[in-house]
Every structure is written in structure tokens, then in C-alpha cells.
Amino acid sequence: MYLENPKKFGMLVEQAHQVALNVLRPISRKYDKAEHEYPKELDMLASLLDGMNEGAPGSAGATSATGGGANTNTGEIKNGSNLSTALGVMEMCWGDVGLLLAMPRQGLGNAAIGAVANEEQLERFKGTWAAMAITEPNCGSDSAAIRTTAVKDGDDYILNGEKIYVTSGARADSVVVWATLDKNIGRAAIKSFVVKHGTAGMQVTRLEKKLGIKASDTAAITFTNCRVPAANLLGSPEVDVQKGFAGVMQTFDNTRPLVAAMAIGVAKASLDRTRELLKDNLSVNYSALPMQASFAEATLNRLEAEWEAARLLTLKAAWLADNKIPNSKEASMAKAKAGRVANEVTLKCVELCGALGYGEDELLEKWSRDSKILDIFEGTQQIQLLIVARRVLNKSSAELK
């Protein structure tokens, strides 16, 4: 039993922390102000990460937002890429969560490719920067209700529909689009397609103006008779009612702990800075018990306890994945806890620091805006609770809606 960060990832965590401190933090406010402007500073960093990804798996290159990567099960306890990625993401988001999301070639689309692509596709899409397009104007968390259609036509599929909230949707090389082969079948008929930018019939219609994570662009994209090679359908083209949706959904089991890790990172930034600003008001080394501490100190310590709990739940979900133990429930538990805790922590830290926290001289107010999305995307708080509840209560989605 050992619940500390693995010693072997010490270097990775340190590297990621240095990147966050020296590369992301200095441009954090700049791109919060300059929404939609491309953070060109990330190009060099992304190349560096690519190089590291090619090299040692224990290096900071594993700090993408995608994770994944296969581990072989040898019966030994493993600390693999799920854990190292989660740890890297935490550090990077201590720097800036928006900038991490904007990182070239590290998008969720890449995670989807990693999770469901076959060998040939993995090779063909290597090095691509793929965004992920799931949400539609009338369908958010209920991704089974997708209306974008894909109709087979010879060696191609023809896509029609509208996608919104596509992170890096305009900047990426391609977009992984979720579409249904048959609206009447529901989940099983949903497939994902890699669509390259520049494909006729694909058009970015707008970029959202947002509350936070402004460094990360969020696009709306329409597909009008957009012709995509059949070979770009990820995974099997068969409509298998038994497991069809599972393939698509398994992407989420990998990415939910990573969004939780983002929440952990941004909340840590707020906790660290608040502890620094309040240092004259805090007892040394947690020496005052909650009843004896000031309200401010007791609040901060409670938040830190909640934060640690969320962090451990996240590491547990990643550890399970590394050891090939099913983690769907734990991934959602981590996401639910980390999402709400990060939001509470960042907002309370603004409150604790008063005008200093609320003002733009500090980044505290920015982190409290950035954190909100982390309790929403990749499944809202309520969706995570629904998933956890169904597992705990052993209920189907028809029974517990």
C-alpha cells in the first residue's frame, strides 16, 4: 500500500511543473485577454512534447491531454501511462488549463483515435492533430441522441449535421466526428469519423466567446453533404446492438480521469497562491486544529482536504486503468468529485483573497472562471452522478433516467 506519486515519475512531474511555471504561466493572462488568438508559443512546446512522446515513456511527453497507451498485464502492479499522464496533466494545468487544451496534437480527437482506431488507421493518422466533435445544438450529455448522419455511398460516407463546442475545432488538422448510421437504432449506430480540414462540405461557422479557458478555441462546425472515405470510420463499421456504443464510450473511461486531473491542477494553483497570500494568517504546519483555527484557515484546510480526496480518487481511477481493472465507475467518481471540488476551491480562494482575488492583477479570478468548464465537459457533474448511481444501485439507463 503506497499512495504517493510514483518515484519513477518524479522527473516527469518536475519537467511538467517547470513547463507550467516557465512557459504557460507567463502567457496565461495574455491569452485570457486575447481570446481566439493562436498561442504561437505552444508550437515549440508541442514539438518538444512530440519528441518526448517518441522517446522515453516516463518523460514529460506523456503530459498530453490524451493519455491512453496499452499496458500488458503481467500480474505485477503497474504504474503506466494512465498515471503518468494524469500526473503530467495536473502539473500542466497548475500552469494553465486553457493552454493545455489548446496544445497541438494533444486533443481529445487524438484520444479517440488512440482508443478505437485499428492498426492501419493508427499508422495513417500518426502525427495528425485531431479535435473531437460530439455535441450538437440539441444534444449535449445525451450523446446517443446525435442527429448528424452518415450515409454509406460507395467507398465513402456522406455526413450531414451541425457540431458545436469542438475544442480546437478550427486549429486542428482534422476532426473526429460522431455521427449515426441509423437514427432509429440509437446508440449502437453511432460511429466516429476522422474528417480532415479542407474536406468539401465542412465549414467552421463560428468561434465561441466563453467564461473561461479562452486560450482554447471552441468551434461550431457544419457538415453539408461532406464526403469522407469509408476507411476513416474508426473501429468496426458493423452496427452491433450489443456493444456498439461501448467502443465510442470507452474513450471516456480514459479521458474522464484526465479531465479530473485538469481540475486537480487548476485547483492546486488556487490553493498554492491563496496559501502564499494568507501566509501571515495561517498556523505553521497544520498545527491548529479546525476548532482552534481561524475561519479562513479552517476553510482553506477543508478545501485542501477535499482537494486531496479528489486527487486520490483521480489517481485511483488511473491506477486501475494501468492495471487493466475496469474503472468506469471510478473514472466517473473522480470526475464528479474533482469537477465540483475544483470549482468550489477556486471560487472560495477568490473569496478568501477578497479584492485581490477578484481583481485581474492575480490569476485567482481567472482560475475560478476556467474551473467551471471542468465540471461540465466530458460529462457534467449530473451525468457522472448518474453513471455512479447506476453502477452502485445496479440500475439500467432505462430504470434510472
Partner 1 sequence: MAATFMGQAQGFGLAILTQMASSEWPDKFKLRKPIEKLLYQGSKTGFQVMTKVSRQFASSGKTNGQVTRLSTSASKGLFDLSLSDEQQMIRDSLSMFAKEVIRPAAYDCDGNASIPAELLAQAQELGLIYYAVPEALGGMATEDNVTTQMLILEDLAYGDMSITAALYSAVSVANTLSRWGSADQQERYLRAFASEKPPQAALAVVEKTPLFDPYKLKTSAKLVGSDYLLNGEKALVLVGSDAELFIVAADVDGTPALFIVESGTAGLSISNGSAMGLKAASTQNLILNNVRIPATNRLPATFDYQAFLDLGSLAWCALSVGCGQAILDYVVPYVNEREAFGEPISHRQGVAFMVADMAIELDAMRLMTWRACALAEQGKNFHREAYLAKILCAEKAMKLGTDAVQLLGGHGFTKEHPVERWYRDMRCLAVMHSGLHL
77 binds partner 1 (CB under 8 A): yes
Catalytic residue among 91, 344, 365, 378: 378
| CB-CB contact of 78 with 57 (8 Å) | no
| CB-CB contact of 112 with 251 (8 Å) | yes
395 binds partner 1 (CB under 8 A): yes
Residues 180-199 that bind partner 1 (CB under 8 A): none
Q: Which is nearer to partner 1, 50 or 304 (CB)?
A: 304
316 binds partner 1 (CB under 8 A): yes
Which of 23, 60, 83, 108 touches partner 1 by CB under 8 A? Answer: 83
Which of 11, 185, 231, 309 touches partner 1 by CB under 8 A? Answer: 309
Number of residues engaging partner 1 in binding (CB under 8 A) = 48
376 binds partner 1 (CB under 8 A): no
CA distances from 134 to 88, 144, 191, 249, 275 (A): 26, 10, 11, 11, 39
70 binds partner 1 (CB under 8 A): no
Q: Is 378 in the active site?
A: yes
Cell readout for 65 is 491531454
Residue 165 CB, nearest distance to partner 1 (Å)? 24
Beta-bridge partners for 151: 158
In whole angstroms, give the CA distance from residue 268 to residue 315: 15
Most distant pair of Cα atoms in the chain: their distance: 74
79 binds partner 1 (CB under 8 A): yes
- String marking each residue 289-308 x if it binds partner 1 according to CB under 8 A: xxxx--------xx-xxx-x
Stretch that binds partner 1, among 90-98, 210-218, 285-293, 363-371 (CB under 8 A): 285-293
CA distances from 52 to 60, 88, 383 (A): 7, 13, 35
| CB-CB contact of 245 with 187 (8 Å) | yes
Nearest of 158, 233, 165, 149 to residue 199 by alpha carbon: 158
Q: Which is nearer to partner 1, 7 or 126 (CB)?
A: 7
Q: Which is nearer to partner 1, 118 or 382 (CB)?
A: 382
- String marking each residue 99-138 x if it binds partner 1 according to CB under 8 A: ----------------------------------------
For 43: left if phi > 0, alpha if psi spans -120 to 50, otherwise beta; the answer is alpha
Pairing state of beta strands 202-207 and 130-133?
Answer: unpaired
Q: Which is nearer to partner 1, 356 or 385 (CB)?
A: 385
Cell readout for 201 is 462540405
284 binds partner 1 (CB under 8 A): no
| CB-CB contact of 259 with 65 (8 Å) | no
In whole angstroms, give the CA distance from residue 267 to residue 260: 11
Residue 36 CB, nearest distance to partner 1 (Å)? 37
48 binds partner 1 (CB under 8 A): no
Name the DSSP class of 379: S
Q: Which is nearer to partner 1, 164 or 318 (CB)?
A: 318
In whole angstroms, give the CA distance from residue 187 to residue 142: 10
Cell readout for 277 is 497570500
| CB-CB contact of 56 with 9 (8 Å) | no
In whole angstroms, give the CA distance from residue 218 to residue 303: 31
Stretch that binds partner 1, among 110-118, 166-174, 270-278, 280-288 (CB under 8 A): 280-288
Residue 334 CB, nearest distance to partner 1 (Å)? 9
Residue 387 CB, nearest distance to partner 1 (Å)? 8
- String marking each residue 141-180 x if it binds partner 1 according to CB under 8 A: ----------------------------------------
In whole angstroms, give the CA distance from residue 309 to residue 389: 19
Stretch that binds partner 1, among 14-22, 106-114, 210-218, 385-393 (CB under 8 A): 385-393
Nearest of 249, 265, 356, 351 to residue 300 by alpha carbon: 351
In whole angstroms, give the CA distance from residue 228 to residue 248: 19
Stretch that binds partner 1, among 98-106, 108-116, 143-151, 284-292 (CB under 8 A): 284-292
In whole angstroms, give the CA distance from residue 76 to residue 342: 33
333 binds partner 1 (CB under 8 A): yes
**Site residues (vs partner 1, CB under 8 A):** 1-8, 77, 79, 83, 285-287, 289-292, 301-302, 304-306, 308-310, 312-313, 315-316, 319, 330, 333, 336-337, 382, 385-386, 388-390, 392-395, 399-401
